[in-house]
Each structure stands twice: as structure tokens, then as C-alpha cells.
């Protein structure tokens, strides 16, 4: 039994991020769909647009989270420091 953790390949990391994004899309779109149905029945006399709008909001939120997962440079307030700048500081 080795106590050292095994290294994860980059393909596995991308696969895990992709799986997390798909699961997040399903959950957030489903919640938006449910909220849209409730709003449609209770507030908007059974119109269809609240369902489509809230499902789109859920899918958009999932897309934004997935974009941040795959491209952390797009998180507001982060800076990319080139390696040459780090060497100059030492």
C-alpha cells in the first residue's frame, strides 16, 4: 500500500470539469424550469414565457460557472502575472 496519492492526468481533470458543468447545467436549468412553472401557474395565467425565461436564466448561470471553471482568468479581479515578473521579484 503506497501512501503517495496517484497523479491525475490532464484528460481526467478536463473530464471531471466537463462532467461537473453538465451536472450543473441540468440542475440549474431544472430549478429554473420548476420556478418558471410555478410562476406561470400562480402569477402569469399559464403563459409559456416565464418557463422559457427562467430556464434560460438557469442555463446562463450554469454557463457562467462553467466558463469560470475552464478559464479562471475571466474571474473579475484576477491578474495573470508572467513568469518573468516573478523571477525579477526574487
Domain count for the chain: 1
Sign (positive or negative) of CA dihedral 42, 43, 47, 48: negative
Residue 14 domain flag: no
* Contact partners, residue 78, CB within 8 Å, separation at least 6: 72
Residue 59 domain flag: yes
Residue 40 domain flag: yes
The pTM assigned to this predicted structure is: 0.73
Give the model confidence (pLDDT) of 8-60 as tens digits.
788 888 999 999 999 999 999 999 999 999 999 999 888 999 999 999 999 99
Residue 43 domain flag: yes
Residue 24 cell numbers, joined? 450543473
Q: Domain range spanning residue 57? A: 21-72
Residue 86 domain flag: no
Sign (positive or negative) of CA dihedral 30, 28, 60, 66: negative
Q: What angle (nearest 5°) sits at the alpha carbon of residue 54, between those of residues 31 and 58?
A: 55
Amino acid at each position: 500500500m503506497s501512501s503517495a496519492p496517484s497523479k491525475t492526468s490532464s484528460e481526467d481533470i478536463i473530464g471531471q470539469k466537463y462532467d461537473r458543468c453538465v451536472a450543473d447545467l441540468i440542475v440549474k436549468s431544472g430549478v429554473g424550469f420548476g420556478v418558471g412553472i410555478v410562476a406561470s401557474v400562480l402569477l402569469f395565467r399559464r403563459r409559456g414565457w416565464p418557463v422559457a425565461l427562467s430556464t434560460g436564466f438557469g442555463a446562463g448561470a450554469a454557463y457562467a460557472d462553467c466558463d469560470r471553471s475552464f478559464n479562471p482568468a475571466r474571474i473579475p479581479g484576477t491578474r495573470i502575472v508572467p513568469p518573468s515578473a516573478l523571477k525579477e521579484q526574487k
